[in-house]
Amino acid sequence: MKKSDEMFVRRIIMMLAGILFISLSVGLYRLSGFGVDAFTCMNLGISGYLNMQFGTWQLIMNAVILVILFFQGREYIGAGTIVNMVFVGYGADFFCWMVQDLAHMEMSFSLRIGALVLGCLFASLGVAFYMVAEMGMSPYDSVAVLLEKLTHGKIPFQYARVCSDITVVIVGIIFCLAAGNSLWTIIGLGTICNACFNGPVIQFFRTHVSEPLLKYPKKTTGFVDRK
């Protein structure tokens, strides 16, 4: 196999692995009962308000952001974007169904803590994987990269991510309250950890894990450039 073909295969594998990690992280956050990640928080709040399946609403929300991204940063759109849009929400639903309805697993306090920790790690590792694979980002994850680009690096990715995460959490809270649902179904320790630390941890995994795996040069902004 040619070196270029081998690299392409490795990028596909890394992209798919990243999306799988993201899907598992969403499911783990939900199972932990300590709150979900920021984007899921917003989508659960809105889908609950609309009485719509979470996976369906998340697909719609991603499509709306994708339209904006098409005009402002279409270089971030690729096969991974579409796979992420379709798979993550329904994949999380399926994972929760297997644990709760199929396996009838009781989430003890220790299991909830374990799910929270794994959810936090998988969320950051997953984004780092498919960002570096350069086969398209999820519409939401591209928001922070696009903000970094539009400000010419004045707002680094990790801080842009914190800003976008906090914003969508606030939106989720508003819709959850409007629907008369308990905030503790969507927000908690996991949400706070994700919103405040996800950006820096993604950057850490990009620098120390995903970029070295593909032997990309280290770079602190946007997508990494292949030499």
Asked if 169 contacts 38 with a C-beta cutoff of 8 angstroms, the reply is yes
Mean pLDDT in residue range 23-41: 88
In this prediction, residue 25 carries a pLDDT of 92
Structural tokens at position 38? 């920021």
pTM score of the predicted model: 0.76
Q: Average pLDDT over the chain, rounded to whole?
A: 86
pLDDT in tens, 80-105: 888 888 888 889 889 999 999 989 99
In this prediction, residue 1 carries a pLDDT of 64
pLDDT in tens, 108-148: 999 999 999 999 999 999 989 988 888 888 888 888 888 88
Q: For residue 66, give the amino acid letter.
A: L
